[in-house]
Structure 1
Amino acid sequence: MPSISHKGALMPESPIRKLVPYAENAKKNGTKVYHLNIGQPDIKTPQVALDAVKNNTIEVLSYARSEGSEEYRTKLSAYYQKNNIQVSPNNIIATTGGSEALLFTIGSITDPGDEIIIPEPFYANYNGFSTASGVKVVPVISKIEDNFALPKIEDLEKLISPKTKAILICNPGNPTGYLYSKEEIEKLKKIVLKHNLFLIADEVYREFAYDGHTHHSVMSEVGLEEHAIMIDSVSKRYSMCGARIGCIVSKNTEFINTAIKFAQARLSPPTYALLASEAALETPQSYFDDVIEEYVERRNTLISELEKIDGVKVANPKGAFYCVAELPVNDTDDFAQWILEKFNHQNETVMVAPASGFYSTAGEGKNQVRIAYVLNKKDLIRCVEILKIALEQYPN
């Protein structure tokens, strides 16, 4: 029998999706499953985006330009300029989701064996994208006790080697909800300039900043023009995860010209989704104001309820719609499977994402879970009730 690749064998499972078969079996057995495992908002997609697809007059569904239509990129650059990011359409490449933007970025700046430093816990697919590219993730651990703030810059700098090509952050963070301050971005700016590295910022949750805090983009930093690469997406901003439209943004011309070659190789992003994404840019600010107010209430509800459970420690997110909670168990992979496979309360259970998959350091996050507060407040209260009862009955 032919063998699979070493790279394929090393490809990690998704901590977000690997338990799906257990959830599906629970549903088949009549148990209602509350999904706290995945960042799929229940917020309605802006109607203007849906109407753009529904009411179009396209007769031939043709390829789009490899970098995305000029109309879309022009409107997108205008959106960024409103947010203090001065970029032109030529600084933007539309991609098939933020995932492809990350793959194109890693492919454009690294060779097999190169390294990227990432504060952990981090978005689980960074491990997968790096493995697919033959790149080594070098983690620097942030702590729940510090609310997952940027680790000491001295600790980060110690990890830089001749093979280091970039530092990658997610801001606001997935899975932590941590929002990097301007001061932290400036510390990262100083170190990438000193060591001539790229600074990649995954900013797909940029609209979701809470408690009077504001999001500060790496693209707003003067002096980072040749170093900053921003990853973005419509998935979370407009509750359009299924559209699969993201983008790469950078003022580094050589990098953009390289990334375009990757874009040409996959031909084009999806045409209908580009139409929807272009129309979504007309969404009024009131939409985001309402969404942010809703997420703040959900966050406050979730944190308040979790803190009532003995032995649970939870970070307080300032952005996105996730939090990391530390549970009084030794292995949340086992607990998350058990709660789907062998437990229910009144024919209901919950699905969470074990946090070990958001680390690349072996053994880290084994007693943590990521919870996405993408359900309404009533359901969140019920979810925590189920979680509390499950912890009381869990045999391990």
Structure 2
Amino acid sequence: MQQYLISSGQNDFIKCGSPVMNRFPFLSIKNATFVIYPRNMIPVKLSNTSQSDIVAMGTRLIKAMKDSGYEYLMLNRGVNSVVNIDLNSIIQSIDFNTSDIQVYPSGNGKAELRKAINEEYFNNQALPEHILITAGGISGLDICLQNIRVDKVWLPPLFWGTYSQLMNLRELATESYPEYDWLLKNAARLSGNAVIICDPGNPAGEKLPDEQLLELIKKLDKQGVVVIFDSPYRRLFYDRSDILYQQLMQLEMVVIIESFSKSVGLSGQRIGFMYNQNKKFIDGASLRLMYATNGINAFAQTIITKLLATPEGQKVVTDFKKITIQHIAANIEFLKQNRLLANELYKSTQPLGIFVVVNRSPEELFQHRIGSVGLDYFTLKSFKGMENLSRILVSYPHEKFVSFFRTIL
């Protein structure tokens, strides 16, 4: 129902919600309900969003642990949990008593960080002034969605639930595409629209071969479709020899959204970056970013610069990735061997991580003290059997992961 705020002439506000029609005969809306807001209550603009199912499950797990005294696996979260990245050697090299740490950073990000990103991701071929430092992946996505003018935003068939919440928040029309082949066949009619591609995916952790991915993105770009390439998980599995970003940066309609939350395990620092070749897009995004953040945390920028641009930092990142990938692969293999993987979702792809979908419901997993999230949070369209599937994190210590899942077998 459309929402209204109307002055009653009695220093109150009314909004659709409870019956008061007889008090306001001048209102002619049929079957309407109203709520009276006292004059000292701030009229609130609806966000059109709701609490994340991921957060809701986390709250439930914390309560269950407190009440029972037993440990529960927090596999509902998107937090690499095999090991923490070892920052001790990096922290020792930072002087905290400098204006570089204590004063407002540049609105677009520190020059040395943008230089390090250019070298790490783009082999020094990108335009440094087009690299914008953001407050994590969600910040980059939100700035991008505010900055584009499109008819509709198309989401993957299964997607990070926050995508649809952002669409609601920014009042953007949205729909989901059924599969990558559908995008290839319908690229021409999607001109004037935007498509979000997340690879490896969330919630299924599926990985499309890069040659197929690049073919699809190039075709969409050629047809005038805005491609938002949101890939916060990719660089956990790849290093600077990866050339995909160098190939994507040349495409005018492609916006690259990256995050350091997963690739180096620093979700708590809230930092990522955005890149696009088009100056007009970057200029607009830069202004929106400035007025949304007034600069990104200088400490976080300094840490990431050290990790990307110094030998000791690069070693720390390599060590973190190596052990994390080993445990992810072992956990996925265990799920495969014990027929716990939802194989119907991996017909033309392979699960890479950091998430997978298993063929158990969230409630069944919860009874075995395993946190997860139901697939209804990750799709616009329900399908048969969906209620018996759950997304779980597989970036978790292998022995403990196995010890909990063996109780299901």
With normalisation by structure 1, the TM-score equals 0.79
The offset of 1:50, in angstroms, is: 5.0
Query: Of residues 68, 83, 99 in structure 1, which corresponds to 2:109?
Result: 68
User: Which stretch shifts more, 130-139 or 201-210?
Assistant: 201-210
Name the CA distance, whole Å, in 1 between partners of 2:56 and 2:89: 31
1 or 2 for the larger relative contact order (CA 8 Å, sep ≥6)?
Answer: 1
SS in 2 for 1:34: coil
Query: Quick check: 1:292 aligned with 2:325?
Result: yes
Asked if the contact 2:121/2:246 (under 8 Å) is kept, the reply is no
The equivalent of 2:183 in structure 1 is: 153
After superposition, the Cα gap between the structure-2 partners of 1:297 and 1:187, relative to the gap in structure 1 and judged at 3 Å, is: same
Q: Which of 60, 70, 77 does residue 38 from structure 1 map onto? A: 77
Deviation of 1:217 (Å): 2.8
Alignment of 1:239-388 (within 5 A): 239-266=265-292, 267-281=294-308, 282-284=313-315, 286-287=318-319, 288-305=321-338, 307=339, 315=346, 317-327=350-360, 332=361, 335-336=362-363, 340=366, 343=367, 349-362=369-382, 365-388=386-409
Between structure 1 and structure 2, the one with the greater Rg is 2
**CA shift in 2, pair 1:134/1:201, >3 Å:** same
CA distance in 2, matches of 1:297, 1:226: 39
The C-alpha deviation readout for 1:32-51, integer Å capped at 9, x for no partner, is: 11111112112221426751
1:374 Cα deviation (Å)?
A: 2.1
Written as runs of structure 1 = structure 2, the 5 A alignment for 1:102-121 is 102-110=141-149, 114-121=151-158
Give a deviation string over 1:355-379, Cα, whole Å, max 9, x none.
1111122457433211111221111
d(CA) in 1 for partners of 2:353 and 2:116?
24
Listed as ranges, the matches of 1:227-242 within 5 Å are 227-242=253-268
Contact kept? 1:232, 1:247, Cα under 8 Å: yes
> Aligned AA for 1:93?
L
SS, match of residue 17 in structure 1:
helix
Checking the alignment, whether the CA contact within 8 Å between 2:76 and 2:373 is kept in structure 1 is: yes
1:196-237 deviation line (CA, Å, top 9, x unaligned): 111111121122449xxx966355148x53111111111111
**Is 1:22 the equivalent of 2:60?**
yes
SS of 2:381's partner is: coil
Give the Cα–Cα distance (whole angstroms) in 2 for the partners of residues 77 and 48 of structure 1: 25
Amino acid paired to 2:261: S
Unaligned 5+ residue runs, structure 1? 143-149, 389-396
Q: Percent identity?
A: 18
Cα contact 2:58–2:76 (8 A) shared by 1: no
1:203 paired with 2:224, answer no
Distance in 2, matches of 1:242 and 1:206, equals 19
Aligned-pair distance for 1:134? 0.9
Instruction: Give the corresponding residue for 1:147.
Output: none
In 2, the alpha carbon distance for the partners of 1:95 and 1:53 equals 24
Q: Which residue does 1:91 correspond to in 2?
A: 130
**Secondary structure class of the residue paired with 1:16:** helix
How much does 1:381 deviate?
Answer: 1.0
Q: Distance in 2 between matches of 1:276 and 1:286?
A: 15
- 1:302–1:54 distance in 2 versus 1, CA, 3 Å: farther
Unaligned runs of 5+ in 2: 1-36
- Residue by residue over 1:72-107, the C-alpha shift from the partner in whole angstroms, topping out at 9 and shown as x without a partner, is 10111111134xx73131120000011100011111
RMSD: 2.9
Change (3 A) 1:181 1:314: closer
